[in-house]
Structure 1
Amino acid sequence: MTTEPIRWGILGAANFALQHMGRAIHAAEGAELVALATSSAEKARPFKAFCPSLKVHDSYDALLADPAIDAVYVPLPNHLHVEWTLKAMDAGKHVLTEKPIAMTAGEIDALIARRDETGLLATEAYMIVHHPQWQRAKAMLADGAIGELVHVDGVFTYFNPDMGNIRNDASKGGGGIPDIGVYTYGSTRWMTGQEPEEITQADLDFEAGVDVVARVAARFPGFTAHWVNSMRMHPWQHMSFHGTEGVIRLTAPFNANVFDQAEVELHQDGMGRRVERFPGINQYVLQVQNFGRTVREGAAYPWTLEDAKGTQALIDAVYAKGGRG
């Protein structure tokens, strides 16, 4: 077991990498942000402002060939995720790739096979499972705090009418479901450990080939779920798990500290409402630190490629039910 920091490189100067993940890697214990791949000096400049020692490669291949890099973060457009995750593993790098890691569930099989062949850690950047609010909520559900689970309700929306934005570009894997449906769908699966038996509703609105409003319902063994995701609605988010004896509600389940403070509410008959708060926790930093522990110590990682495949299979089933625009 080594105590050396994991040396990271980033493929592409994406805005999300600049605002969140690059800074998280730079701040995380046991991690060192070493390099960025971009051909644009202008795009590299703000990264170097917070990480002056950053080495800039002018191509993705050059970064992957750099022996000083142990792990790669991939924030490229959705349709490029599988290709560059495979290339990163072929270059001997551990890899953390933004969600959705693939455009269909079947594509993830190649990633699983390459991961198993190489022994490298390759996974999807599904940051919410690293946040203690979700770990606490999952423990409450498992401990029977709300009795038997009957229904899950989830909402995640924001307003993005900019047709020049990549999320509105069908050719690059855009759409509200790939962008934020992964969170309402995946968190339901992660909390319960169950897979849907049937998609009972998929009412989808499309613009320019991407879903912009999605109202989806599913039946799981023992409970039902309903999720609303949209890129054309006022920003809002919550997740509720409604049982026979109570309700668990997360008030800022996905963008903690951005949408609102992370809080887990427990509503029980005769007990009123109990609120647990989780202020100031950076789930992106925790994600990087847990990645490092898995690489260095072999610690279990809370979100695997198999987990990502399950959520993508649910997304595939939603599109099969409601169409693709």
Structure 2
Amino acid sequence: MPNRPAPLAITTGEPAGIGPEISIQLAHSKIHHEHPLVLIGSRALLAERAAAIGLSAEFPDYAPGTSAPVSLLDLPLGATVAPGILSTANAGYVLATLDVAIHGCLKGDFAAMVTAPIQKSVINEANPTTYFSGHTEYLAEQSNTPEVVMMLAGDMSNGMSLRVALATTHLPLKEVPAAITAAQLTRTLEILHADLRTKFGIAEPRILVAGLNPHAGESGHMGHEEIEVIIPVLEQLRAQGMNLIGPLPADTLFNPPVLARGDAVLAMYHDQGLPVLKHATFGQGVNITLGLPFIRTSVDHGTALDLAGRGLADPGSLYTATRLAARLARNKQARLNH
């Protein structure tokens, strides 16, 4: 088919977890529409997991320009795997699936990459001298992107869309205050603002910014980070034209009347913003890495080792991540066409 859009790369995740089977379920769904899918993983593993859940994995091999709605880029496992049983021998395989997707996105062979969940502990145990903190940081490193921003998004039961970005990601709580510097916060807000415009098509983004401390510091009585760092940064960026609301107390920020005033929330640390989002959208949420030179979305859950191979895993978050990746790819292409 001429002018067929580039495919979406689907990395199938930790082989002992639910990633392979939800990837198979995605391949058999009808949600990807105009974008072909390329599953990246072991053909033998996917065939085994597909049989366990009553589906097939008879997809053609991927080749650039293929017209198949679903194809497979076969990578060998490091070792045989049983559902729910982790093996450090497969750490290299997991990283290889990511490397192939990253390279394909940078070359333009893939319109976006969508990632199934991985098990960070396995990768760290296999490589004890190099700490692997997660997809977000690895994608930035491998694409030579100096700074990225982690954002999760989903639709709440009241119909509102909730987008929560993070000023810091996978840090111990005691390290968070020192990590929120003026330069770091400025760059985070610049990336968030830019990608809300260019990837999400929001012409004038409104960003709700959480304070770090209870009651957003209560005028310095509960901490000085708001006065010394956050407020000066917000004032500087407002002077440049950004619509920034805050710093707001996190305990009241996530009420619907407040959320209605913004297009996204910037939380100061991982467990300030994500518990709320996951409570409101779990199973349908999407993780997006902002600031990369390509589009990346992911599920909002882990490997669920106890469910692997049993046909009990809910593929809803992967479906939603794939739909969003396709929409962001369309937005990107529309900008290029203009």
Band of TM-score, shorter chain:
0.3 to 0.5
TM-score by length of structure 2 reads 0.36
Q: Which has the higher contact order (CA 8 A, sep 6+)?
A: 2
